[in-house]
């Protein structure tokens, strides 16, 4: 994989024989490779995954900044504790309570985005060869972390109601029959990245029951739960089982530039997360934490989340309308919240191979292969509708249709490749 | 070591059999265990290591905030690239040039404090059992990271002129004779934490020559270099060898609450650091980075660093004066910059065992054992003079003298323990 990295090929590396084993697990992600493309204004990017932060009134932040600095300026720019700001952790209770979680702030650890929470937790559990169970498809950033810890990612069949309990049990049995150590089940239960699907209410206790019986830890990653379009999501898995490790984030309900996320964990594990965090970066930014804490105090943050919901609902509608209009024969998920559509391509089209053609047509997406740890996913692609305007989304999907239809015609004329 | 953790002892841990090997390397640091004590106002804390951020005029930050949000508000709260903000990296050139480093912004990676840079770099090199060479004593946070990666830390004799080239060569020969893999030399060349000593100008090329000949990477960690009291420090090791990995930080010359540091590395390694950073936390905070970038643009940051120098010079003087007055027979380093004194106790006094007695006398310090990876250091302690006022520093050292003198008397009367 290193050979494919465009940034490394012409750099002579005098330390090549010195790297650790884990250094060789790193490769340029397919999402990252797109960043250069995405930044060109003529390209409609349906890749990315960026929230539309322009919908956040900057006056709210200015108010928070002034109030924070007036009240606790010296604390905001000083080192803080490794567990995170106590006041922010107290405020997080209200946010988690919306999805039925009633927890102590003592069991929360604030982190540098929920990505770092996931990295810290994964590091505490994963030895080389350990198994992580994950939805199929699963979040690309999680796959990267699990790979970095040299874990085996076993995808579990996932449909429009989320991960399948039957398939989960089968996967567990399969891994156990192979004598492998399963460390945890990782899932994004609400408006998942990349599928957009939500784990059905009736499946939640089933998933918990299986994992309890099999003594498998659950990592519930929930950055999108509050961004529902019509009705609230079912209660979190964590609300039904205190042993679930719950990850939350401000990146989607406020802004990612602060890099503030959090993890709720049983006390013994929480202590280990704090120690791992202190080792990695001493403490999360007090400046970022206190900005968010103050924002939650001085702004009507629930109303702002509602504003975001409206923005993303309109964009989801634009995306689905455009799919019906330009690609009526393709199967796509129909998300009730969040940022993503998951599209199944006609037989014989490889989304990764098609990407350069799409970019030539001035539209970008993320190939399905990014969301699997096992090399599959070629027949899928992810559309992210959170960032472009509805008009741009429609234009992008129209362009995508041109590319897909041309591919389909080629296949019909000349037959499938390979 | 886990048994000694006060926060873990009464937590039943249902996942004890699931943790990774690396999870067992984490233990509560001696510095961290002091945090609870330090926060009591009646205790003079000479522990810690906190910069005196009250000396930073908050108007300068307000100006930076307003200017940043007016110019690039949406970018400041959005995701950024994994290498860090390009404008900030450009500005870092001027800062590094002060110590003779002329580098491309392309070779810089901005990180969540320089601690995270160190964690990322260590992770790219260290496998279990690999050797890290380090000053004796060395930075407690670095020791924690190297332990977490299960490395062996080999301390190299260090005197008032910094790490000894002769001892370095001996340590290398010793490790090689044992068949061990040396991965890098870690050092804090200026006003080191905890010793306060600076690597002499004439030793710098000698250290580089040895490491080049032995093909050993150098990690130069330099958070304090600009905080000299009389004359600037010698040019950085990195200015003499492009292969040196150089770590810098805004925590001491501006404020730690932003968690912004940086690492300068050869291109092939830089690419790996970016990938490791993206895996760990996607990107460093744009909000923090842009605040600092704007601060560097709109404020007279050199003048502010000069203000900090004055504050710390006065406190260093207060500390040394108090040492002469109350503990005239103890050997202490005499730093020309930075935050720390390194004190050698009379024979038979154990700084760790003495700490509870000191806290009873309402003074706290950091025991020398925190700064060694091999359990030594009992006869030393670190005094940090950066945070308390000169009067409080004198009071603290007076109290410390009471404790030490009582210990000395006890030893003279009853003989040494053990």
B158 within some domain:
yes
A83 within some domain:
yes
Nearest Cα residue to B112 out of B288, B296, B301, B297: B288
d(CA B232, CA B224): 11
pLDDT at B6: 41
pLDDT at B305: 98
d(CA A295, CA A250): 11
Q: Are residues A294 and A308 in the same domain?
A: no
A68 within some domain:
no
For residue A170, what is the enclosing H or E element?
helix A165-177
Q: Write the secondary structure of A280-316 as one string of H (helix), E (strand) and C (coil).
A: HHCCCCHHHHHHHHHHHHHCCHHHHHHHHHHHHHHHH
Kindly list the distances between the CA atom of residue A150 and the CA atoms of A37, A286, B19, B20, B79, in Å, as whole numbers in the listed order: 30, 32, 15, 12, 27
pLDDT at B28: 75
- In this complex, the residue of A15, A69, A148 whose CB is nearest that of residue B269 is A15
Which neighbouring-strand residues pair with A217? Answer: A184
Q: Are residues B158 and B13 in the same domain?
A: no
Q: Out of B298, B315, B332, pick the residue that ends a domain.
A: B298
Q: Are residues A290 and A243 in the same domain?
A: yes
Distance of CA A202 to the CA centre of its chain: 23
Cα three-residue angle B271-A131-A112, rounded to 5 degrees: 45
For B12, the domain range is 2-49+303-414
ipTM for this prediction: 0.95
Contact B274, B251 (CB under 8 A): no
Q: Are residues B276 and B391 in the same domain?
A: no
Give B125-169 as a DSSP string: HPPTT-EEEEEES--HHHHHHHHHTTPEEEEEEEETTEE-HHHHH
Burial bucket for residue B395 (CB in 10 Å: 0-12, 13-18, 19+) = middle
Q: Are residues A277 and A136 in the same domain?
A: yes
Contact A380, A368 (CB under 8 A): yes
- Nearest-Cα distance to chain A for B38, in Å, is 12
Q: Are residues A47 and A166 in the same domain?
A: no
pLDDT tens digits, chain A, 418 residues: what are they?
Answer: 333 344 444 457 888 889 999 998 888 765 566 656 667 889 999 998 899 999 999 999 999 999 999 999 999 999 999 999 999 999 999 999 999 999 999 999 999 999 999 999 999 999 999 999 999 999 999 999 999 999 999 999 999 999 999 999 999 999 999 999 999 999 999 999 999 999 999 999 999 999 999 999 999 999 999 999 999 999 999 999 999 999 999 999 999 999 999 999 999 999 999 999 999 999 999 999 999 999 999 999 999 999 999 999 999 999 999 999 999 999 999 999 999 999 999 999 999 999 999 999 999 999 999 999 999 999 999 999 999 999 999 999 999 999 999 999 999 898 765 5
Nearest Cα residue to B173 out of B136, B143, B213, B142: B213
Contact A8 B271 (CB under 8 A): yes
- The answer to whether A275 contacts chain B (CB < 8 Å) is yes
Q: Are residues B271 and B402 in the same domain?
A: no
Domain count, chain A: 2
Give A177-235 as a DSSP string: HTT--EEEEEE--SS-TTT-----TTHHHHHHHHHHHTT-EEEEE-SSTT-BSSSPPPP
Burial bucket for residue B67 (CB in 10 Å: 0-12, 13-18, 19+) = middle
A209 within some domain:
yes
CA atoms lying within 13 Å on the CB side of residue B181: 12
B67 within some domain:
no
- In this complex, the residue of B12, B119, B258 whose CB is nearest that of residue A280 is B119
Nearest Cα residue to B139 out of A284, A116, A279, A123: A279
pLDDT, tens only, B300-358: 999 999 999 999 999 999 999 999 999 999 999 999 999 999 999 999 999 999 999 99
Strand order through the sheet with A162-163: A108-111, A261-264, A245-249, A217-221, A182-187, A131-136, A152-159, A162-163
Alpha-helical runs (H) found in B149-285: 165-177, 203-213, 267-281
pTM, two decimals, is 0.95
Which neighbouring-strand residues pair with B382? Answer: B342, B366
Kindly list the distances between the CA atom of residue A360 and the CA atoms of A31, A43, B30, B199, B290, in Å, as whole numbers in the listed order: 17, 9, 58, 56, 33
Q: Are residues B389 and B259 in the same domain?
A: no
Non-local (6+) Cβ contacts of B169 within 8 A are B210
A410 within some domain:
yes
Q: Are residues B237 and B109 in the same domain?
A: yes
Q: Which residue of B has its CA nearest to A212?
A: B14
Burial bucket for residue B392 (CB in 10 Å: 0-12, 13-18, 19+) = middle
Q: Are residues B234 and B319 in the same domain?
A: no
Kindly list the distances between the CA atom of residue A399 and the CA atoms of A341, A358, B132, in Å, as whole numbers in the listed order: 16, 8, 54
Residue B90 phi, psi dihedral angles, 5° rounding: -65, -45
d(CA A324, CA A331): 10
DSSP 8-state symbol, A253:
T
- Nearest-Cα distance to chain A for B157, in Å, is 25
d(CA B67, CA B249): 23
d(CA A122, CA A151): 9
Chain B residues with CB-CB distance to A35 below 8 A: 81
**Length reported for chain A:** 418
The answer on pLDDT for B243 being more than 60 is yes
A69 within some domain:
no
d(CA A342, CA A349): 15
- The answer to whether B271 contacts chain A (CB < 8 Å) is yes
B207 within some domain:
yes
Q: Out of B298, B328, B354, pick the residue that ends a domain.
A: B298
CATH of the domain at A370: 3.90.1150.10
Contact A186, A144 (CB under 8 A): no
**Length reported for chain B:** 418
Burial bucket for residue A213 (CB in 10 Å: 0-12, 13-18, 19+) = exposed
Q: Are residues B216 and B272 in the same domain?
A: yes
Q: Are residues A289 and A345 in the same domain?
A: no
CATH of the domain at B264: 3.40.640.10
| Interface test with chain B among A53, A82, A259, A292, by most B beta carbons within 10 Å | A259
- In this complex, the residue of B58, B119, B149 whose CB is nearest that of residue A281 is B119
Q: Out of B251, B276, B298, pick the residue that ends a domain.
A: B298
């Amino acid at each position: 994989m290193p050979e494919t990295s465009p940034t490394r090929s012409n750099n002579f590396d005098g330390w090549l024989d010195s790297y650790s084993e884990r250094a060789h697990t790193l490769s340029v992600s397919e999402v990252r490779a797109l960043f250069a493309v995405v930044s060109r204004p003529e390209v409609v990017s349906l890749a990315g995954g960026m929230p539309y932060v322009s919908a956040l009134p900057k006056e709210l932040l200015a108010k928070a900044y002034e109030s924070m600095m007036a009240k606790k300026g010296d604390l905001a720019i000083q080192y803080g504790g490794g567990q995170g700001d106590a006041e922010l952790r107290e405020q997080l209770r209200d946010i988690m309570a919306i999805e039925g979680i009633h927890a102590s702030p003592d069991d929360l650890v604030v982190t540098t985005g929920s990505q770092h929470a996931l990295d810290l937790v994964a590091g505490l559990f994963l030895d080389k060869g350990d198994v992580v169970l994950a939805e199929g498809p699963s979040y690309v950033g999680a796959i990267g972390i699990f790979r970095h810890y040299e874990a085996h990612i076993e995808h579990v069949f996932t449909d429009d109601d989320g991960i399948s309990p039957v398939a989960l049990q089968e996967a567990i049995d399969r891994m156990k029959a192979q004598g492998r150590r399963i460390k945890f089940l990782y899932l994004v239960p609400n408006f998942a990245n990349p599928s957009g699907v939500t784990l059905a209410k009736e499946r939640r206790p089933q998933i918990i029951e299986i994992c309890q019986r099999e003594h498998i830890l659950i990592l519930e990653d929930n950055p999108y739960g509050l961004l529902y379009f019509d009705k609230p999501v079912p209660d979190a898995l964590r609300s039904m089982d205190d042993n679930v490790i719950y990850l939350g984030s401000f990146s989607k309900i406020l802004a990612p530039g602060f890099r503030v996320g959090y993890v709720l964990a049983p006390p013994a594990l929480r202590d280990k997360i704090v120690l791992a965090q202190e080792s990695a970066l001493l403490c999360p930014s007090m400046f970022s934490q206190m900005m968010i804490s103050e924002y939650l105090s001085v702004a009507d943050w629930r109303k702002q989340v509602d504003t975001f919901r409206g923005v993303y609902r309109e964009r989801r509608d634009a995306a689905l309308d455009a799919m019906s209009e330009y690609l009526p024969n393709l199967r796509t998920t129909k998300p009730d919240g969040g940022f993503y559509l998951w599209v199944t391509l006609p037989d014989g089209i490889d989304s990764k191979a098609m990407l350069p053609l799409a970019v030539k047509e001035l539209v970008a997406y993320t190939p399905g292969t990014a969301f699997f740890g096992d090399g599959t996913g070629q027949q899928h692609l992810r559309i992210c509708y959170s960032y472009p305007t509805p008009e741009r989304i429609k234009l992008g999907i129209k362009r995508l249709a041109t590319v897909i239809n041309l591919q389909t015609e080629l296949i019909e004329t000349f037959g499938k490749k390979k």
